Amino acid sequence: MSSFWTQDTRSMTIAKHGRAFAENTWQERDFVRPLVSILGALLAVLALEIGGALAMTHGQFMYASDAAYTHMTLAQQITHGTYGLYPGEASAPSSTILYPVLLAFLQPLGLGTTLPLFINIVSTLATGFFAFLLARETSLPIHRIAAGRLFLLTAVIAVALDLPGLAILGLEHSLHIAMTVAYLLGLVRFVRRGRCDWWWFVCILVQPIIRFEAAGMLVADALIFVAFRRYGYALATFIIGLVLVGAYSLFLHSLGLPILPSSVLSRSDWSNAALVSHSGPFSVIASIVENLYSNLRSFGAAQMLGGVALATPWLGWIWADLWKRPPAKADQIKLVTLGFMAFVTLAQLTGGRLDWVPPRYEAYVLVLNLCGLAIIFRERVSAWCEFATWPRSVAFCLALMMVFAGYAAQFLFIPARAEKEFEGSYQLHRFALEFYRRPVAANFLGYINFENPNYVLDLSGLSSESARQSRAREQKPDWMDELMEKRGVDLAIIDSTNVTSVPKSWIKLADLRPAGLLADEAYLHYIFYVRHGSDVPAAAEALDRFARTLPTGSHLQRLFPGGEEGPSG
């Protein structure tokens, strides 16, 4: 298979082992065994992660990110004709265009709250399948690796890249990673065959509507087409991508919203400066530089840049030959892969975000770079696969776990974050829905919005344009009181991890400190406020009933007006 890969390896000799290394030829029988090992390993680590989360949440499955419930709430409203979290109130709380629409489209499957988990499990398995096809396309002899060792290698790679943890976040990142590996497969096929597969073109176009920062991939694709003199493809890529994202922006504008989601504007200073505050080109450039500087100091930057740095010496080895003769097909594929890796890495560092807990926005870049390194050093990887003994396999696994230790640690910490959601957001959802049964205000989104018929006023600005504008415009927090009065809301719940100043006139009524592994964080608690003294009796009565139903270890301290301590849960 793929004769152009064999020109420099057919007679390659592994002197140390005293035998000739001939290029492998994949047979159909080679398809099943390695694929079963890969998919089996992915299912195993997914099962362990899901089992860990269930154990931490007493059998009540919870996603490890409250944003998953925001996506599901938005999807439910989409099916009823509203783009927002509540009927008749338009908002754009999601930083992905496609994912909530996909959830809405698949709701007839009847999977309920497990639908995002189902999508992410399928996406994670698809990542393994596409990586397997990529190995076949590039003639990497992974079928020469014994089944048990391939199982171990796959499981460790998945954990090191936090693929199982991303799956139980309930967000779009697992899908984004699968599409990224599929894209790389299509890119190799394009350079090798000179044809653009239809599914590859779909992967190209769908990237920016999965994640906005993937627009950098769209630009890279257009440049690749230009480099190969496929100007029609380049123009079509640019125009269709612009139409897809532009149509969404026009849709938001027609709803009276900014042309980018509030969640993007609140987390991206440079896009906010460019599109909302209209600060001018110098301010935008300064914001971009500041964002780049912040990302370079953040967790994950070293791993992203390290992948590109490891590939760069190969370019030095062939640099002289590039000036003497056109590169062979194999080298063309490696050149394009390296260029794509570098472009996407720099685009994410410049325009995206890294400093997020748990880390997830850079996951697709890490997977892309790891697959890209296997392509660029194909000959060495092939030789390693030929003699992948247990000591070599274990040594590789240990090295990978050390390089990606921060991500591998999430395999343990993300189930604890699911427990945090159970002890916090889920309990607040119960309070609002079962005990208080009135509209509330909160400076966070998530489970408190999900399947809650009572209105939740968003004080964070992620799903409320009026709140976002007020936060940006006002110096004092009195705007919160005005919005609550306008909406008929008397009680506010403030997540202390989101630093929020509240009006001085508010009365601090109670303080909920959740149990769990993360409960020892001093800042992790929820504070209940009421606007007026007349609002205290109804809220206090609901809190007293709620306190008796809290999980063991959680503590609700209710404070009477004036700071006196009342009954605790």
pLDDT of res. 568: 45
77's enclosing H/E stretch is: helix 67-79
In terms of pLDDT, which residue wins out, 521 or 307?
A: 307
Specify the range with the lowest mean pLDDT, choosing from 201-210, 419-428, 458-467. Answer: 458-467
Band (27; pLDDT cuts 50, 70, 90) = low
542-551: pLDDT as tens digits: 999 999 999 9
- CA count, 13 A, side-chain hemisphere, 210: 23
Q: Is 319 left (phi over 0), alpha (psi -120 to 50) or beta?
A: alpha
- DSSP summary character for residue 86: B
Highest mean pLDDT range out of 211-225, 314-328, 389-403, 521-535? 389-403
252-289: pLDDT as tens digits: 999 999 988 888 887 777 777 777 666 778 888 888 89
Give the separation between CA 282 and CA 268, rounded to whole angstroms: 16
pLDDT of res. 347: 94
Give the separation between CA 555 and CA 551, rounded to whole angstroms: 9
Give the separation between CA 52 and CA 416, rounded to whole angstroms: 8
Look up tokens 């987390």; give the residue.
267
Please provide residue 399's backbone torsions phi and psi, each rounded to the nearest 5 degrees.
-65, -45
Q: How far is CA 372 from the centre of its chain?
A: 20
Band (212; pLDDT cuts 50, 70, 90) = confident
pLDDT of res. 29: 63
Contact 567, 544 (CB under 8 A): yes
State yes or no: pLDDT of 401 exceeds 90: yes
Give the separation between CA 127 and CA 371, rounded to whole angstroms: 11
pLDDT of res. 320: 78
3 state SS of 567: strand
pLDDT of res. 150: 98
pTM strictly above 0.75:
yes
Band (18; pLDDT cuts 50, 70, 90) = very low
Give the separation between CA 508 and CA 511, rounded to whole angstroms: 8
State yes or no: pLDDT of 198 exceeds 80: yes
Q: What's the Cα-to-Cα distance from 416 to each of 58, 62, 251, 458, rounded to whole Å?
A: 12, 11, 38, 26
End-to-end CA distance of the chain: 68
Give the separation between CA 205 and CA 371, rounded to whole angstroms: 21
Query: Angle between the 465-473 and 478-487 helix axes, to the nearest 10 degrees?
Result: 160
Query: Angle between the 329-351 and 281-296 helix axes, to the nearest 10 degrees?
Result: 110
The C-alpha angle 535, 537, 538, rounded to 5 degrees, equals: 75
From the number of C-beta atoms within 10 Å of its C-beta (0-12, 13-18, 19+), residue 299 rates as: middle
SS (H, E, C) 232-291: HHHHHHHHHHHHHHHHHHHHHHHCCCCCCCHHHHHHCHHHHHHHCCCCCHHHHHHHHHHH
Q: What is the C-alpha radius of gyration for the chain, rounded to an integer number of angstroms?
A: 26
Q: Is 124 left (phi over 0), alpha (psi -120 to 50) or beta?
A: alpha
State yes or no: pLDDT of 567 exceeds 60: no
158's enclosing H/E stretch is: helix 147-160
State yes or no: pLDDT of 452 exceeds 80: yes
Contact 492, 479 (CB under 8 A): no
Contact 133, 379 (CB under 8 A): no
Q: What integer best gives the mean pLDDT of the chain?
A: 89
Look up tokens 């009823």; give the residue.
80
State yes or no: pLDDT of 427 exceeds 90: yes
pLDDT of res. 23: 45
Q: Please give the average per-residue pLDDT across 210-228, as a whole number.
A: 91
Give the separation between CA 168 and CA 174, rounded to whole angstroms: 9
